[in-house]
Each structure stands twice: as C-alpha cells, then as structure tokens.
Amino acid sequence: MKSDISEMYLLLNETDGNRSAIMRSMRKRAYLSASVLFDLQLGGIIKLTDKGMQVIAPLSKDYGFLNPVLDILNDRENKSSKNSLRHVVLNRKINRIVYDGIGEKLLFKNRATKTSSRGLIFSHDKYIPRAEAKKLVVNQIKAELLGSNTASLEIIALVANLSRSRTLKNYFDKDQRAQLTQQVKDLRHNPEYETFFKFAKWVDDFITAIIVAASSGRG
C-alpha cells in the first residue's frame, strides 16, 4: 500500500494561505477522499464487487490513520455500500483524519511544511507544499501523459481527480489540458486498465451525485 495519489493530490490542491484550501472546499475534500480510495484499490486493500466496495485486506501499521475509512466501508449492518461511501466523503471528522494523515506523510518526506491555527477550543494543522515538490509532480504528469513515458495508473487517477477538483487549470494551459483529457480517454480502451477504470467510474459517478445533491441543498 502506498499513498502516492493522495500525496500528489494534496500537493497540487493545497495553497500557501492561512487556511486549508482543501478543508474549505467540499469538492476538494471529496476528491481527496477519491484519491485515498484509488490508493486503497491499487494497494489491494479494497475492490469493487457487484454489491459495491469491499475491504479485502488490512492496512499496514504506517497507514493505520486510514482504518476509520475501512471501518466505515465495512459497516454493512447499518449502511449500504453507497451510504458508507457518502459518510467517507462528507464527514468532516473523517476528512480531517485523512488530510492530517496524508499531510504527515508529506512532512516526513520533506515535501511539505506544517503550520497550526489555534482557536479557543480547537486547533488545526495545515500542510503547505514545497514548491519543488509540486514541480516534480507536474513534471511527472507531463512526462507520462504529454511525453513518451508509459502512463501509470497513479498518474491517470491523479489527473482525473485534478480535473474534477478544477485544479488542472492552475498548472496546465488549455491545449495541455485537452491533451491530458484525450490521453486518459484513449487509455480507457486499453484492456490492461479495465478494472481500474470500472472502479474509477463507480467512484466518480457517486461523488459527482453527492456534490450535485449537496449543492442543490444549499440552494
């Protein structure tokens, strides 16, 4: 199990301001959750079945912070698979656990710094990406999807989530974004990626529905 997709997503979505751009935005939090689900799927921890998402393996100790996510996905007595996923995506406490866990991974790798904001009751940490770490991710995307390198599933998932979180435009011009989108579409026809894209579509369709419903509710 690795958290490459989640780490790269946080690096390119977080900002230098006092407050977390990810924790302020339901859309960005939702696709951080999606990034975690992709990491879990590619790591052989969860899989998609006819009944929804199923946990098939335990997490290693260094990813124990994600156990609350697996606990929710495993709670079939009280929730359907989709209700469980809704809880993972919308629950702010779970969002914060995921954000802090991924942020600590980046901090340990010296790819981010950490600041803390303290209120009367609560305090929250924020992870500020290092510029060189962000540049490395952007260059990796260019090499795999705009260059001659073979595209990894991690980069395909990352680009899909950056597109959905409306972040691609911050790093790529219009022509590059069109190329990235077309490359990902073309890869959907590759049998090697069939299982991944089936999982990705299920997750994305559901998260899109959640965001639309939540936006309508505020409206």
CATH class of 4-218: mainly alpha
How much is the mean pLDDT over the chain?
A: 91
Residue ranges of domains in the chain: 4-218
Q: Which helix (H) or strand (E) holds 79?
A: none
Q: Give the span between the Cα atoms of 172 and 88, in whole angstroms.
A: 30
**Owner of token pair 């992709």:** 38
Q: Which two tokens stand for residue 211?
A: 């965001």
Instruction: Tell me how many degrees the CA angle 112-39-116 measures, rounded to the nearest 5.
Output: 30
Higher pLDDT, 85 or 29: 29
Higher pLDDT, 57 or 211: 57
Distances (CA, A) of 115 to 15, 32, 76, 150, 152: 12, 20, 38, 37, 32
pLDDT tens readout for residues 96-127: 999 999 999 999 999 999 998 766 556 789 99
The pLDDT value given to residue 80: 72
pLDDT tens readout for residues 177-200: 999 999 999 999 889 899 999 999
Q: Which helix (H) or strand (E) holds 92?
A: helix 92-108
Residues 6 or more apart in contact with residue 85 via CB below 8 angstroms: 52, 53, 73, 203, 206
Higher pLDDT, 216 or 217: 216
Question: Sorting pLDDT into bands at 50, 70 and 90, what band is 51?
Answer: confident
Average pLDDT over residues 136-158: 94
The pLDDT value given to residue 120: 55
Question: Sorting pLDDT into bands at 50, 70 and 90, what band is 37?
Answer: very high
pTM of the model: 0.93
Question: Sorting pLDDT into bands at 50, 70 and 90, what band is 85?
Answer: confident
Q: Give the span between the Cα atoms of 139 and 172, in whole angstroms.
A: 11
The pLDDT value given to residue 219: 47
The pLDDT value given to residue 212: 87
